[in-house]
Amino acid sequence: MKKASFLFISVFLQIVLFAQDNNTSERSFELAKNLEIFSSVYRNIYTTYVDDIKEGELVKTAIDAMLAKLDPYTNFYPESNLEDVKMQLLGEYGGIGALIHQKGDSVYISEPYEGLPAYEAGLKAGDLILEVNGQSAKGKNSDQVREILRGQAGSPITIKVSRFGQEKSFSFKRKEISLPNVPYSGIVGEDLGYIKLNEFTKNAANNVLSAFNTLKKQNIKGLILDLRGNGGGLLNEAVDIVNIFVDKGQVVVNTKGKTPERNQSFRTMKKAVDTNIPIIVLVDGASASASEIVAGSLQDIDRAVIMGQRSFGKGLVQNVIPLAYNTQMKVTVSKYYIPSGRCIQAIDYSHRDSLGRATKVTDSLRTAFKTKNGRTVYDGYGIEPDVNTEPEYGSNILFTLVAKSLLFDYATEFVRKHESIPPVKDFKISDEIYDDFVSFLKDKDYSYTNATEYAMNEALDVAKKDKCDEGIIKELEVLKARINKEKENDIYKYKDEISEMLLSEIVVRYYNQKGRIEAYIKGDKETEQAINLLHDTARYKQILKQN
């Protein structure tokens, strides 16, 4: 019998024995009964099914199907996926420290992180990966290449790439990679601090504290904490970040679960670093979990103004539980409640519609709560910002240029022709550079359908199905041709947003991730609005109902 079969039977017997020892309750009986049924099905498949089965794969399929009935955050991880768990929780993995991306049948280095093995060895963005440790990368997708790039820290690796048509080999050792959770901090608006926090992984709070202390030495008058796109992480890091700005003893979050040990209160434990500096927290629809704890608790105690778009709405807490044979399970164990008493979980996974989809909490079921200063806030749908901003959406042409890696490819060519560029604050996409980019695109395919063109195609189809007058159909076809002609000018119509993305792709080649973020901030409208609000002390206080 294979290892997976022993694993299942071992776990099954342990649980059944537990249930039998506690069979005075109806739930224990149900547990034992259903496990016995499941075991009988599995055993009969194993012994009688006509074809050979992959025992471990079959059991994992059963487990995944069972967990799919719960919430998307409760997951089972076989031994082969332990690096993924480590990456999620700690932001660490064994590897080379570089982002990669796929274009067609090829995989490229897209961004080596400064100071990490790939960067130190000399790999550059735009390098086409040919081989990894003698294993060809040809025909492999990015996930497959990523799998062979990762490995135990200290293990040797040789990567052969093609750079501008020349083959190069780089040999070095993998390391334990810890991605920076604070990739950038600096001064904006001349006298304000800005901290970008990507993840709540290990040491996130210490890194935010270090960045903040450095900014304080520059006599900042306010702080922008950017949590946009931050999907969360470790709860204790969220509590410690709040503690930087809120004194000892403040409840940050309470958790409530099925069992008493899951009911906990997390408070600030230290003296705050600064309880007075004005703060704006930037959030968006991808700010979730620990991000919402920080934003929500600072909102509830009126310590910061929240700006952006409504956050994701994840009010669930997970624990990772070790299982037999180096497998693990991440399971939702409780819900969290921020200081006003509200839970901001947006989706009720215990109730599903006729198609089996979990339903959102309806507006009629949302409950009003009060902040420390008496402002009204609501549960059940993420963190609603104090200042709402309109999200910026890229045009269809920009999306196509990014998806087809044409901005990336031009940046690679740009680097080949330009040894250096001015500092980020001084560098811009000039008309000359943009015209050169347009020339670069002349023999490239970046065809796309914009919204107007799509609507016109629909109208034409409907007109033909309705057997409209031929004259009407011809007029529609003439209009379609005019729309297509106008679309040819999209490359200049959307010059500003394309230039912003092109600037980012070029700057990262010379100034790494910090340069990319600095370039982004320079043209970011939400950061500009946050700067203006922090400079408007009266309006800032009015929002928080401060004296």
Q: What is the CATH number of the domain that holds 96?
A: 2.30.42.10
On whether residue 80 sits in a domain, the answer given is no
Q: Which of 151, 178, 205 is the last residue of a domain?
A: 178
On whether residue 74 sits in a domain, the answer given is no
Phi, psi (rounded to 5 degrees) for 395: -75, 165
* Same domain for 455 and 387: no
On whether residue 215 sits in a domain, the answer given is yes
On whether residue 79 sits in a domain, the answer given is no
Q: Is the pLDDT of residue 127 over 60?
A: yes
Q: Is the pLDDT of residue 26 over 80?
A: no
* Same domain for 208 and 293: yes
For the segment 236-263, the average pLDDT, to the nearest whole number, is 94
* Same domain for 116 and 138: yes
* Catalytic residue of the set 175, 196, 202, 314: 314
Q: pLDDT per residue over 447-481, tens digit each?
A: 888 778 888 888 888 888 888 888 888 888 888 88
Q: pLDDT class for 25, splitting at 50, 70, 90?
A: low
Q: Which residue has the higher pLDDT, 390 or 488?
A: 390
Which of these ranges, 9-18, 252-261, 362-371, 511-520, has the smallest mean pLDDT?
9-18
* Catalytic residue of the set 289, 291, 311, 499: 289
Q: pLDDT class for 1, splitting at 50, 70, 90?
A: very low
For the segment 202-221, the average pLDDT, to the nearest whole number, is 97
Q: Is the pLDDT of residue 219 over 90?
A: yes
* Same domain for 58 and 39: yes
- 545 in catalytic set: no
Q: pLDDT per residue over 89-100, tens digit each?
A: 555 678 999 999
Q: pLDDT per residue over 309-333, tens digit each?
A: 999 999 998 888 888 888 888 899 9
* Same domain for 455 and 341: no
Range of the domain at 518: 396-448+494-529
Is residue 117 within 8 Å of residue 151, measured between CB atoms? no
Q: Is the pLDDT of residue 298 over 50?
A: yes
Q: pLDDT per residue over 477-516, tens digit each?
A: 888 888 888 888 899 999 999 999 999 999 999 999 999 9
Residue 422: name the closest of 412, 433, 413, 408 by CA: 433
On whether residue 134 sits in a domain, the answer given is yes
What is the count of structural domains for the chain?
A: 5
Mark residue 163 as left, alpha or beta (left: phi above 0; alpha: psi -120 to 50; beta: remaining).
beta
Q: Is the pLDDT of residue 291 over 60?
A: yes
| pLDDT of amino acid 3 | 44
* Same domain for 515 and 434: yes
**Distance (Å, whole) CA 417 – CA 262:** 59
On whether residue 545 sits in a domain, the answer given is no
| pLDDT of amino acid 258 | 86
| pLDDT of amino acid 491 | 94
Q: Could you give the 3-state DSSP secondary structure of residue 39? A: helix
Q: Which of 129, 158, 178 is the last residue of a domain?
A: 178
Q: pLDDT per residue over 40-53, tens digit each?
A: 988 898 889 888 88
Which of these ranges, 93-97, 114-118, 535-539, has the smallest mean pLDDT?
93-97
For the segment 166-188, the average pLDDT, to the nearest whole number, is 93
How does DSSP assign 444-496, residue by residue?
S------HHHHHHHHHHHHHHHTT--HHHHHHHHHHHHHHHHHHTTHHHHTHH
**Distance (Å, whole) CA 184 – CA 211:** 9
* Catalytic residue of the set 71, 226, 240, 300: 300
Q: pLDDT per residue over 419-451, tens digit each?
A: 999 999 999 999 999 999 999 999 999 888 877
Q: Which of 155, 178, 201 is the last residue of a domain?
A: 178
* Same domain for 296 and 240: yes
Q: Is the pLDDT of residue 16 over 50?
A: no
- 314 in catalytic set: yes
| pLDDT of amino acid 2 | 46
Look at the block and give the residue holding tokens 């390098």. Answer: 127
| pLDDT of amino acid 357 | 80
* Same domain for 65 and 18: yes
